């Protein structure tokens, strides 16, 4: 009765569907406009504003920051450094998260829920707290080096206040996101298909390479995009574990905006980060189209 | 052991299995337990080379589990799987050379049709040119030439089924295992695929094990049928054996439609709710009587013999189904279901008419009542 009513109702006609969809999109469009488009436009304006050495804006315009960024090799290196670090962190996160996600995907029942909660629970803690946790583990007198010293190591390994520490910390902090994205992308995995491969003569490692991995690529792509973007924009962990010796775009934006009070430069660098995001998204879309 | 001299010295110790051509596949006390319940309970079964065997049984009787144990996908709890004299019980699935066709097809969604079919050959390290030739041959066999570059998602259910069949056959498997391969197809396509699978299997001489819970499928396709119930084999035999000479009440009721009456045996006769009938063997105590609806004649129809069983009753319902008419006939306290084939000139007998039913003693199947 109700099915018949809706089947003939306006909501089912093509035009009606489009209209409903558009209506449903209004809230997110509004949020996007107010929370994203507007600030970005504002950033663009700030990046070409003129300032005094005190940081106060004169009200005039200047493209000085853009020319500085374009011509000073420091910023090019900063960009390269940031992209490289984020890529390495993404790959490390993927490698450690993939087996966990696959294992979780294969489980069922109570254990799956318990372990899933365990995987997500780090997200309940602020990354400041987790980074301090890593300091306790990685410092010269920390857990790792104490253990190594007890085993007879003469010199402590420098695991902190350098890029190594930043990468270790970021990898762990980004793992939950990666695992969730992988799980979301594992929908095409089908145990029957793996069994079919086995009966056709594929030993387990070939089943993995020929069937499991290709079918999980959408998850890998999604997780990598998410992790890469989060790695680029993270600044607490690089700041604390880098000890002021690791320079990345996000930490530089923070320093320029809060310490040096050079807002136009901070805005310029922010826009560059945004461009990197856009490029990452474009790459992701291309990859997805290729494997889809 | 007439074939003794063909047996090589290496397999001599297994001469029993290799020598007998009717034991190409041999399941010996095959058992699978999940916790306390046995999904498959001490199944013994021998399959001849080139035979098309159907496994028939209600849902949950252990058909799939048996098939998956043969394929090596489910570890056995006890018992042995011997193929061509070789004990495969503990051999991993990728070394068994079984061709398994899944109910859900389980095609590789990220590969083209050709790549799907080629997969098994690639795993065997075959040369590219040979693979191409064998894939083309297999696709021709299932009439899918021209679909090489499609993805499984771009095929109809029937076409996907044929790709799955080609993929399993192209490796020239020891045994073709089919787990309800037709249950996702519509009725017309199912009939078509039945014949197609049967033809291909005959042409290639492949030994095939076909799992189904559809008795029509089992009876029309198989050389022999195994009826399973609750993890055990109830009866193994030709379709005719099962239909005409069921050994248990379960088989009689499961294979084909039948009237099923509780009765009391008294030597050569049984009493069923006010009707007394003769049966082929002497029985006593509580029994179950089964008579196929289309073996009961209404009034004068069909040949009559002097020693036929009879019952008088009244028609209480008439159902016209095109090729047959089904009558419900109240005789004493019993309602008989009677089926008569239709005829362009024949008139339906209407409700309320008094009729006489007759059926032969041979068609009066009697079983001990289940305790
Ligand atoms: N992994 C499992 N764990 C526990 N019990 C199982 C498992 N797999 C199957 N069973 C049980 O074993 C019995 C046989 O199952 P099986 O799948 O072999 O039945 P089937 O004959 O193929 O039925 P259907 O016609 O519904 O496919 C069922 O009672 C089922 O509940
Ligand atoms: Mg089944």
CA distance B146 to B361: 57
The rounded distance, in Å, linking the Cα atoms of B139 and B170 is 9
Query: Can you say whether the dihedral through the CA atoms of B308, B309, B315, B321 is positive or negative?
Result: negative
Write the ipTM: 0.83
Q: How confident is the model at residue B301 (pLDDT cuts 50, 70, 90)?
A: low
Cα separations in angstroms, B57 against A63, B186, B233: 81, 21, 9
Look at phi and psi of residue B146 and say left if phi exceeds 0, alpha if psi is from -120 to 50, else beta.
left
Beta-carbon separation of B95 and A215 below 8 A: no
Residue B170 has what DSSP assignment?
Answer: T
Q: What is the pLDDT of residues A200-237, one digit of tens each?
A: 999 999 999 999 999 999 999 999 999 999 999 998 89
Q: Is the pLDDT of residue A193 over 90?
A: yes
Q: Is the pLDDT of residue A123 over 50?
A: yes
Question: Which residue in this structure is represented by tokens 């992209």?
Answer: A83
Give A-chain residues touching B168 at CB under 8 angstroms.
199-200
pLDDT of residue B15: 43
Surface of B (69-128) touching A: CB under 8 A: 71-73, 92-100, 102, 104, 106-110, 119-120, 123-124
Dump pLDDT digits (tens) for B99-114: 999 999 999 999 999 9
B198: three-class secondary structure by DSSP: helix
**Given a cut of 70, is residue B4 above it in pLDDT?**
no
Beta bridge partners of B47: B25
Q: Report the nearest-CA residue for atom 24 of ligand 1.
A: B59
| Minimal-distance CA residue of chain B relative to A192 | B106
- B100 vs A199, A210, A215: nearest CB: A199
Interface size between A and B, measured as CB pairs under 8 A? 67
Q: How far is A201 from chain B (nearest CA, A)?
A: 4
Q: A151 is in which domain, residue-wise? A: 73-291
Mean pLDDT in residue range A55-77? 89
> Which one has a higher pLDDT value, B66 or A11?
B66
Residue B117 CA, chain-centre distance (Å), reads 27
Q: Per the domain annotation, does A23 fall within a domain?
A: no
Q: How many domains does chain A have?
A: 1
For range A119-124, the mean pLDDT: 90
Q: What pLDDT was estimated at residue B3?
A: 41
In a domain, A116, yes or no: yes
In a domain, A32, yes or no: no
> Which protein residue has the closest C-alpha to ligand 1 atom 1?
B34
Highest mean pLDDT among A162-166, A244-248, B116-120, B304-308: B116-120
Name the least confident of A7-16, A116-125, B85-94. A7-16
Per-residue pLDDT, A40: 92
> Does the pLDDT of residue A196 top 90, yes or no?
yes
Calpha distance A1→B59 (Å, rounded)? 34
Q: What pLDDT does B21 receive?
A: 66
In a domain, A11, yes or no: no
Q: What are the residues whose beta carbons fall under 8 Å from the beta carbon of B259, sequence distance 6 or more?
A: B289, B290, B291, B292, B293, B296, B336, B337
**pLDDT exceeds 70 at position B10:** no
* DSSP line for chain A: -HHHHHHHSGGGSHHHHHHHHHHHHHHHHHHHIIIIIHHHHHHHHHHTEEE-TTS-EEEEE--HHHHHHHH-HHHHHHHHHHHHHHHHHHHHHHHHHHHHHHHHHH--SHHHHHHHHHHHGGGGS-HHHHHHHHHHHHSTTSHHHHHHHHTT-SSPP--SSSHHHHHHHHHHHHHHHHHHHHHHHGGG--HHHHHHHHHTT--HHHHIIIIIHHHHHHHHHHHHHHHHHHHHH--HHHHHHHTT----HHHHHHIIIIIS--HHHHHHHHHHHHHHHHHHHHHHHHHHHHH-
Q: Would the CB atoms of A188 and B109 count as touching at under 8 Å?
A: yes
pTM of the model: 0.82
Instruction: Say yes or no to pLDDT of B145 above 70.
Output: yes
Alpha-carbon torsion (A27, A29, A32, A34), positive or negative:
negative
Cβ contacts of B110 on chain A, cutoff 8 Å: 188, 214-215, 291
Task: Report pLDDT for B283.
Answer: 87
Strand-pair category, B224-229 with B98-101: unpaired
Q: Output the pLDDT for position B225.
A: 96
Domain assignment of residue A31, yes or no: no
Question: Whose alpha carbon is nearest atom 28 of ligand 1?
Answer: B60
The whole-number average pLDDT for the span A165-192 is: 93
Highest mean pLDDT out of A250-259, B72-81, B340-349: B72-81
Tokens of B191: 């009939």
> Both ends of chain B: CA-CA distance in Å?
43
Contacts of B179 in chain A (CB under 8 A): none
Residues of A numbered 203-242 whose beta carbons fall under 8 angstroms of chain B's beta carbons: which are they?
203, 206, 210-211, 214-215
Q: Does the residue A266 lie in any domain?
A: yes
Rounded to a whole number of angstroms, the CA Rg of chain A reads 24
Distance B71 CA to ligand 2 centre (A): 14
Pairing outcome for strands B224-229 and B52-56 = parallel
**Which residues make beta-bridge pairs with B40?**
B32
- Is residue B174 scored above 60 in pLDDT? yes
Identify whether A27 is part of a domain.
Answer: no
Q: For residues B211 and B56, what is the distance between their CA atoms, to the nearest angstrom?
A: 6
Strand-pairing partners, residue B331, are B334
Mutation to probe ligand 1, out of B30, B32, B34, B231 (largest number of atoms < 8 A from CB) = B34
The ligand 1 atom at the shortest distance from the C-alpha of residue B40 is 14
Q: What is the H or E stretch that residue B192 is in?
A: helix B187-204
Which pLDDT band, with edges at 50, 70 and 90, does B42 fall under?
very high
Residue A33 has what pLDDT?
92
Over residues A7-50, the pLDDT tens digits come to: 444 444 556 677 788 888 999 999 999 999 999 999 999 999 98
Closest residue by CA, ligand 1 atom 6: B34
Range ranked top by mean pLDDT from A125-139, A248-262, B25-39: B25-39
Of A200, A214, A291, the CB nearest to B167: A200
Q: What is the pLDDT of residues B187-227, one digit of tens each?
A: 888 888 899 899 999 999 999 999 998 898 999 999 999 99
| Residue nearest atom 30 in ligand 1 by C-alpha distance | B60
Instruction: Categorize the per-residue pLDDT at A53 as very low, low, confident or very high, splitting at 50, 70 and 90.
Output: confident
Asked if residue A270 belongs to a domain, the reply is yes
Average pLDDT over every residue of B15-21: 50
Tokens 């209480």 correspond to B316
Per the CB < 8 Å rule, is B171 touching A201? yes
pLDDT score at B341: 87
Mean pLDDT, chain B, rounded, equals 89
Run of H or E including B195? helix B187-204
Residue B343 has pLDDT above 70, yes or no: yes
Contact yes or no for A237/A169 (Cβ under 8 A): yes
Does B94 have pLDDT greater than 50?
Answer: yes
Q: How confident is the model at residue B303 (pLDDT cuts 50, 70, 90)?
A: low
- pLDDT at residue A7, as a whole number: 43
Average pLDDT over residues B260-273: 89
pLDDT at B305: 67
C-beta of residue B161 within 8 angstroms of C-beta of residue B194: no
Query: Helix, strand, or coil here: B182?
Result: coil
CA distance B88 to B177: 15
> Mutual orientation of helices B157-169 and B187-204 as an angle, nearest 10°?
20
Residues in chain B: 371
Distance CA B50, CA A220 (A): 46
Most confident residue range from A100-104, A130-134, B184-188: A100-104
pLDDT band, very low/low/confident/very high, at A56 (cuts 50, 70, 90):
confident
Mean pLDDT of A104-124: 91
Q: What is the dihedral of CA A14, A20, A24, A25, to 10 degrees?
A: 50
CATH number, position A132 = 1.10.3720.10
Task: Report yes or no: B280 and B364 within 8 Å, Cβ to Cβ.
Answer: yes
């Amino acid at each position: 009765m109700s099915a018949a009513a809706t089947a003939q109702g306006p909501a089912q006609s093509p035009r009606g569907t489009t209209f409903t969809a558009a209506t449903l999109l209004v809230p997110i469009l509004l949020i996007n406009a107010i929370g994203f488009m507007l600030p970005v436009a504002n950033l663009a304006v700030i990046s070409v504003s003129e300032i005094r050495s005190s940081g106060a804006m004169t009200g005039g315009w200047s493209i000085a920051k853009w020319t500085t960024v374009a011509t000073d090799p420091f910023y090019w290196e900063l960009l390269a450094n940031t992209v490289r670090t984020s890529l390495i962190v993404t790959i490390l996160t993927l490698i450690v998260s993939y087996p966990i996600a696959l294992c979780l995907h294969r489980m069922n029942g109570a254990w799956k829920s318990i372990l899933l909660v365990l995987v997500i629970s780090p997200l309940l803690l602020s990354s400041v707290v987790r980074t301090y946790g890593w300091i306790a583990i990685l410092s010269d007198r920390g857990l790792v080096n104490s253990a190594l010293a007890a085993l007879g190591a003469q010199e402590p390994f420098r695991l902190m206040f350098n890029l190594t520490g930043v990468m270790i910390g970021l990898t762990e902090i980004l793992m939950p996101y990666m695992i969730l994205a992988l799980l979301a992308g594992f929908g095409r995995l089908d145990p029957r298909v793996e069994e079919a491969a086995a009966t056709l003569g594929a030993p387990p490692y070939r089943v993995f390479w020929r069937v499991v991995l290709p079918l999980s690529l959408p998850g890998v792509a999604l997780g990598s995009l998410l992790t890469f973007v989060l790695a680029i924009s993270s600044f607490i962990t690089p700041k604390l574990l880098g000890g002021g010796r690791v320079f990345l775009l996000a930490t530089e934006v923070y320093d320029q905006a809060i310490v040096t009070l050079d807002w136009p430069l901070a805005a310029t660098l922010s826009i560059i980060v945004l461009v990197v995001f856009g490029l990452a998204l474009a790459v992701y879309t291309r990859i997805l189209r290729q494997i889809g | 052991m007439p074939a003794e001299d063909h047996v090589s010295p290496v397999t001599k110790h297994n001469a029993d299995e290799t020598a007998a051509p009717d034991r190409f596949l041999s399941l010996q006390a095959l058992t699978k337990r999940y916790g306390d319940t046995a999904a498959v309970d001490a199944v013994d079964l021998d399959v001849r080379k080139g035979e098309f065997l159907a496994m028939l049984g209600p849902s949950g009787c252990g058909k799939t589990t048996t098939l998956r144990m043969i394929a090596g996908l489910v570890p056995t709890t006890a018992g042995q799987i011997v193929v061509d004299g070789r004990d495969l019980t503990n051999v991993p699935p990728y070394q068994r050379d079984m061709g398994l066709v899944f109910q859900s097809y389980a095609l590789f969604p990220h590969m083209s049709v050709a790549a799907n079919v080629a997969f098994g050959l690639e795993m065997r390290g075959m040369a590219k040119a040979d693979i191409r030739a064998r894939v083309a041959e297999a696709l021709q066999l299932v009439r899918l030439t021209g679909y090489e570059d499609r993805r499984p998602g771009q095929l109809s259910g029937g076409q996907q089924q044929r790709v799955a069949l080609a993929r399993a056959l192209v490796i020239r498997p020891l045994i073709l295992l089919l787990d309800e391969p037709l249950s996702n197809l519509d009725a017309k396509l199912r009939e078509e695929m039945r014949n197609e699978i049967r033809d291909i299997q005959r042409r290639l001489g492949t030994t095939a094990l076909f799992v189904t819970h559809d008795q029509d499928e089992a009876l029309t396709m198989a050389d022999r049928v195994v009826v399973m119930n609750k993890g055990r084999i109830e009866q193994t035999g030709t379709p005719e054996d099962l239909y005409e000479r069921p050994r248990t009440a379960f088989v009689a009721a499961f294979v084909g439609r039948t009237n099923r009456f509780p009765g009391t045996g008294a030597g050569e006769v049984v009493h069923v709710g006010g009707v007394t009938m003769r049966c082929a063997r002497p029985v006593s105590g509580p029994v179950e009587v089964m008579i196929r609806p289309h073996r009961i004649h209404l009034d004068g129809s069909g040949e009559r013999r002097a020693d036929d069983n009879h019952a008088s009753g009244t028609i209480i319902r008439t159902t016209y189904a095109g090729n047959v008419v089904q009558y419900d006939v109240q005789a004493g306290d019993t309602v008989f279901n009677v089926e008569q084939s239709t005829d362009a000139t024949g008139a339906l007998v209407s409700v309320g008419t008094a009729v006489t039913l007759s059926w032969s003693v041979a068609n009066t199947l009697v079983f001990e009542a289940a305790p």
